[in-house]
Amino acid sequence: MKKSLWFLPLIFLLGGSLTSCTLKDQVRLTYGSYIQSDLTTLDAFSELQAKMSGTEKGENFILATYLEGSYCSCWDNFEAVLKQYIYEEHVIVYKISNDLFNSTNETLLNEWGITRITSTAPSLVIVKNGKVKKEFIDDNSTFFYKYTPFKEKIDEYVLNPNYYFVDQNILDDAIENDEKVLVHYMWSFCPDCTYCAPQVLWPYSNKHDFSLKMYIIDIGTLTGYDPTSETPFANFSTSNEEYVTFLREHQMSETGNETYGYSRGFVPTTQYWENGTLIDADVYFNDSLTLNNGVWKVTSTFFTDDRVTNLHYLDGIATPVLEDLTVAEDDVTISSSNNTEGSWNKDAASVYHNPLLEAFLNTYAL
């Protein structure tokens, strides 16, 4: 009897330990990609800092470090393994040269949990919300030069993404041929998009395993924006024919779809399609405010009284209609050209918009 009493708690302890280890150590990568076959280079330490503790904090990712400009077959072998991983799993892997790590940023590296390597040995870190969850440093193990042991080990710590970047060809083919399609339209330089990702998309993905992956498409270059130019916004215009056509054909604008399109079409917009038909949509932010008789009101929004009757994800939402909503003056950024017009400050608008987008994802992603 004493032996049995001792053994039973041991089973529970072991079971609890295994479970907690799995839940604690596995990291859901934020982004995958169907349009990228190589590692993504971080060219400056500031780019890593943005992901770890700056504006992009909250993205979960894999980062490889190596010594640039110094030949080492160990890095060549490991890079080949990583490229195979990218090709087969459609994940995004970042790389940064560890010659960007120096005494001036060593405090940050220690804070994040990244080892400053001074040799030619490569390393790999798995990052969750600005902290290293697991670090591998080249120790001549097969992890760094053979794909199968690498994949077996990395699977212990990593879960595949819920979000995958696509281009227009992939998206259009999916809309035409797939039974169900979930898509999120954005610009890399759009403040609303860069707010939406860490505030809604990333934390939501960390909590859920999607049954329907979300395609993400950056349509910013269709506006004439050129990130490779010294003046990237020189030809920027939301009236570009190619951009307007895209918004219409993908039913983001009212000319493309009177029910689920909004005005000229805005980002971020999230849509759900079935068998080539747009079934539902959410537009995050992009509301206009007007001062009338001393009171600020929402006067232009996707969430009007007429439209919400056609939205199928609003059960339990406290404020589904944003049109004519009163907004506190402290939550308004007044237009410099017209003091009766303004925009909704993001933190205040998110109180209403975050639950709406989360409800959309609850309905169609899970």
Model pLDDT, residue 139? 81
Largest distance between two CA atoms of the chain: 84
List, in order, residues 6 or more apart from 28 with CB less than 8 Å away. Answer: 60, 159, 160, 161, 162, 205, 206
Partner residues linked to 342 by β-bridges: 289, 334
Q: Could you tell me the fold of the domain covering 26-159?
A: Glutaredoxin (3.40.30)
Q: 268 preceded by cis ω (within 30°)? A: yes
Examine the pLDDT at 100 and tell me if it is beyond 70. Answer: yes
The token duo for 39 is: 């590692």
Same fold for the domain at 26-159 and the one at 163-364?
A: yes
pLDDT tens column, 180-210: 999 999 999 999 999 999 999 999 999 999 9
Burial 31-63 (b: 16+ CB within 10 A, else e): bbbeebeebbebeebebbbebbeeebbbbbbbb
Task: Name the CATH code of domain 163-364 (choices 1.50.10.20, 3.30.420.40, 3.40.30.10, 3.40.1170.10).
Answer: 3.40.30.10
pLDDT tens column, 109-161: 999 999 988 888 899 999 999 999 999 998 888 999 999 999 999 999 999 99
CB-based contact 28:206 (threshold 8 Å):
yes
Lowest mean pLDDT segment, chosen from 76-80, 96-100, 137-141, 260-264 = 137-141
* Mean residue pLDDT across the chain: 92
Cite the beta strand spans of 223-287 per DSSP E: 269-274, 277-283
Examine the pLDDT at 34 and tell me if it is beyond 70. Answer: yes
Query: How far apart (Å, rounded) are the C-alpha atoms in residues 110 and 206?
Result: 25
pLDDT tens column, 227-238: 999 999 999 999
Model pLDDT, residue 204? 98
Q: Which of 206, 68, 69, 199 is nearest to 127 (CA)?
A: 206
Q: What's the rounded mean pLDDT across residues 75-89?
A: 96
Indicate the domain borders of the chain.
26-159, 163-364
3-state secondary structure of 174: helix
Model pLDDT, residue 24? 60
Query: How far apart (Å, rounded) are the C-alpha atoms in residues 163 and 205?
Result: 8
| pTM exceeds 0.85 | yes
The DSSP secondary-structure symbol of 68 reads: T
- Cα separations in angstroms, 117 against 39, 46, 112, 265: 20, 18, 14, 48
The band of 28, judged by pLDDT with boundaries at 50, 70 and 90, is: very high
Q: What's the rounded mean pLDDT across residues 159-175?
A: 98
